[in-house]
Structure 1
Amino acid sequence: MAKPELSIGEVLRILRAEFSGVTISKLRFLEAEGLVSPARTASGYRKFSADDVERLRYVLTAQRDQYLPLKVIKEHLGAIDRGLRPAVAGPPVAPSAPSAGPRADDFGATGIELRLTRAELLAAAGVSAELLGELESHGLVVADGKHYGGDAIVVAQAAAELAAYGIEPRHLRPFRTAADREVGLIEQVTGPRRTEQTEQLAALTVRLHTALVRSRLPR
Structure 2
Amino acid sequence: MAAAASAQSQAAGLLSIGQVLARLQDDFSDLTPSKLRFLEEQGLVTPERTKSGYRKFSQQHIERLRLILTLQRDHYLPLKVIAEVLDEMDEGRDPIIPGASPRSASMILAPQRVLSSDELRRATGASARFLGEAIAAGLLPAAEVFPHDAVAQLSALLKLAERGITPRHLRSLRVSAEREAELIARAVSTRGVKSGTPLGTEDSLELAGHLDTVRSGVLRRCFASS
TM-score between both structures, scaled by the size of structure 1: 0.54
The 1:187–1:123 alpha-carbon spacing in structure 2 relative to 1, beyond 3 Å, is same
Matches within 5 A, 1:17-166: 36-37=38-39, 53=42, 55=44, 78=61, 81=64, 105=103, 109-111=107-109, 113=111, 114-144=113-143, 146-166=144-164
The 1:171–1:94 alpha-carbon spacing in structure 2 relative to 1, beyond 3 Å, is farther
Deviation at 1:148, TM superposition (A): 1.6
Seq. identity, %? 25
Partner of 1:173: 171
Question: Are 2:120 and 2:150, in contact at CA under 8 Å, matched by a contact in 1?
Answer: yes
TM-score between both structures, scaled by the size of structure 2: 0.52
The 1:128–1:95 alpha-carbon spacing in structure 2 relative to 1, beyond 3 Å, is farther
The one-letter code of the counterpart of 1:137 is: A
Measure, in 2, the Cα distance between the counterparts of 1:147 and 1:77: 8
Deviation at 1:105, TM superposition (A): 3.9
> Which blocks of at least 5 consecutive residues in structure 1 are unaligned?
1-30, 39-51, 60-69, 97-103
Partner of 1:208: 214
Partner of 2:20: none
Deviation at 1:74, TM superposition (A): 7.2
Deviation at 1:125, TM superposition (A): 2.7
Measure, in 2, the Cα distance between the counterparts of 1:71 and 1:193: 44
Task: Please give the per-residue CA displacement for 1:52-77, whole angstroms capped at 9, x wherever unaligned.
Answer: 84628xx7xxxxxxxxxx99997697
The one-letter code of the counterpart of 2:161 is: A
Question: Are 1:105 and 1:199, in contact at CA under 8 Å, matched by a contact in 2?
Answer: no
> Which blocks of at least 5 consecutive residues in structure 2 are unaligned?
1-32, 47-52, 68-85, 95-101, 190-197
Task: Kindly indicate which of the two structures has a greater share of residues assigned to helix.
Answer: 2
Deviation at 1:140, TM superposition (A): 1.1
Question: Are 1:35 and 1:74, in contact at CA under 8 Å, matched by a contact in 2?
Answer: no
Measure, in 2, the Cα distance between the counterparts of 1:180 and 1:76: 27
Deviation at 1:78, TM superposition (A): 2.2
Task: Please give the per-residue CA displacement for 1:182-211, whole angstroms capped at 9, x wherever unaligned.
Answer: 111100111397432212101101111111
The one-letter code of the counterpart of 1:203 is: G
Deviation at 1:120, TM superposition (A): 1.6
Partner of 1:63: none
Q: How many residues align?
A: 150
Question: Are 1:186 and 1:198, in contact at CA under 8 Å, matched by a contact in 2?
Answer: yes
> Which of the pair has more CA radius of gyration?
1
**Structure with the greater relative contact order (CA < 8 A, sep ≥ 6): 1 or 2?**
1
Secondary structure at the aligned position of 1:110 is classed as helix
Alignment partner of 2:185 out of 173, 184, 187: 187
The 1:73–1:86 alpha-carbon spacing in structure 2 relative to 1, beyond 3 Å, is farther
The 1:72–1:155 alpha-carbon spacing in structure 2 relative to 1, beyond 3 Å, is farther
Deviation at 1:111, TM superposition (A): 3.0
Task: Please give the per-residue CA displacement for 1:126-183, whole angstroms capped at 9, x wherever unaligned.
Answer: 3211110111111111134x22223322221111000111111111111101111111
The one-letter code of the counterpart of 1:37 is: L
The one-letter code of the counterpart of 1:130 is: R
